[in-house]
Amino acid sequence: MKFGLVAFVVSIVFSSTADGKKLPSFIQKCKRTDPQLNDCMKETMLKFRPHLKDGVKALKISSFNPYIVPESSASTGWMNLTFINTKLFGIPNFEIDSLKVNLDGNPVIAMTFSIPNLELSAHYRLDGKIIQYQVHAEGEYESKFNKSRFSVLIDGDKIQKDGAEYMHLHKIDFNILELPFQFLYLHNLFEGNQELTDRLNAILLEDNDIFYKDLKPLLEEIVSAFVLSIFKGPFDTFSLDELFD
């Protein structure tokens, strides 16, 4: 699934203080011409992981404990689904399965990564049909996933800004490779009918392909927002000469 940039701007927290910008000391700089650039970048990202929990102001990266997406929605022919205040837990434990960085062409970043225990909660609004049930509901959504895997391609262009060369990342192509549900519950699916709410939730968890198809575009939008924010913060803030040796 491909996404334009506009949807992501909201997810990046821009600090207004323009005090002397300096790369945080935990960022290990890589050499642009290093034949092992990919390995070096992978190592840099792994060292960077623990700092995601509190966010990194100098890189315009917001807190990932949890990572919050204000609102996202998806429509199919049979269902409208909206998630408000989505909270993602577990992102700072991501593992990189492969990473290719190309500063001279697209995609600039090609990465597959996994997250061992991802948790996602939100306030949901759902109108439409699940299996044969007509649902008009609003309430809390909770889910947990076993090891989930994702792939991402990010395109960009080199631009001149304040007399220096920056990498402007502008497009993300994001795919969920694996997202095995461990737990899934939509509270209040049928208001005042706990038994039916429990029964439909049990069906959805048992055979989560049913709901997954409806949920997938929403989840891709949500997860791709954090991936882009990790890269866009540093690349928007620092020139290529500042980020690389």
| Binding residues vs ligand NAG (CB under 6 A) | 75, 78-80, 127-128, 146, 180, 182
Nearer to ligand NAG, 50 or 180 (CB): 180
Q: What is the CB-side half-sphere exposure of residue 223 using CA atoms within 13 A?
A: 31
Beta carbon of residue 143, minimum distance to ligand NAG (angstroms, whole number) = 12
Angle between helices 194-206 and 209-237 (to 10 degrees): 70
Identify the bridge partners of residue 134 per DSSP, sorted by sequence position. 129
**Cα 200 from Cα 72, distance rounded (Å):** 23
Contact 73/126 with Cβ under 8 angstroms? no
Nearest to 93 by CA among 69, 75, 119, 71: 119
Beta carbon of residue 191, minimum distance to ligand NAG (angstroms, whole number) = 17
Beta carbon of residue 47, minimum distance to ligand NAG (angstroms, whole number) = 28
**Cα 216 from Cα 1, distance rounded (Å):** 10
Beta carbon of residue 129, minimum distance to ligand NAG (angstroms, whole number) = 7
Nearer to ligand NAG, 114 or 146 (CB): 146
Beta carbon of residue 128, minimum distance to ligand NAG (angstroms, whole number) = 4
**Residue count (the chain):** 245
Nearer to ligand NAG, 12 or 79 (CB): 79
Nearer to ligand NAG, 29 or 136 (CB): 136
Nearer to ligand NAG, 15 or 80 (CB): 80
